[in-house]
Amino acid sequence: MILPLLQLLAFAAVAIYFGHRRAGLRRRNNQSWDSLISRLRVDWSARELSDHFLWKEGLDATPEDAWKRMEGPNGLWAMYQNSRVMLEMADFAARNNPEVDKLMVETLRSDAMQIRVCVLMCLAQYGFTQASEGVRINAYRAAAMYTGMAARMTELLQEHAAGVLPDFVAAM
């Protein structure tokens, strides 16, 4: 009696997984540049961290100053979410334009994953120790990677989707 029930539950779980996966792929294939850019968080910007944000890598702030300018965990969470959207933008460019530099796309993917891991570690540290020196250093490192990723995304958009570049710059 229990074995048929377990088989039914296993089949249902697999069917739900594949249905969810298919809906995600359909949603991904129906994306456009405008829909991706509209998902960027505009309530926080990393412009305060660097005078040359979006055009050149690097920060103009110390770790303590960067922590204040990024508004602590609020800025970290915005970087986490925006890095996911920029990852999807890189994937979209690679899928829809065969001339896109594959190395740049791989670099953007790597940056996004590193930013997301660094931000999660930083938020976990912040939860335990508030704004200790280690938290500020990790937040600074995440912000430096984020500005580099944003600069590379700007370069990618300049080369392959110049029409959406003003919207991207305004959203960032």
In this prediction, residue 51 carries a pLDDT of 66
| Cβ contacts of 86 within 8 Å, gap of 6 or more | 40, 108, 112, 149, 150, 153
Percent pLDDT > 90 in the chain is 16
Q: What is the mean pLDDT of residues 95-102?
A: 84
DSSP track, 123-170:
HHHHHHHSS-HHHHHHHHHHHHHHHHHHHHHHHHHHHH-GGGHHHHHH
Condensed to tens digits (0 to 9), the pLDDT of residues 4-57 reads: 888 888 999 999 999 988 887 787 777 888 888 888 888 877 777 776 666 666
Mean pLDDT of the chain: 84
Q: What is the mean pLDDT of residues 90-113?
A: 88
Higher pLDDT, 67 or 114: 114
Q: Please, which pLDDT band fits residue 113 given cuts at 50, 70 and 90?
A: very high
SS3 61: coil
**DSSP tag of 47:** G
pTM passes above 0.75: yes
Q: What is the mean pLDDT of residues 91-105?
A: 86
Q: What is the mean pLDDT of residues 64-74?
A: 83
Higher pLDDT, 111 or 160: 111
Higher pLDDT, 166 or 11: 11
Q: Where are the domains of the chain?
A: 1-30, 32-171
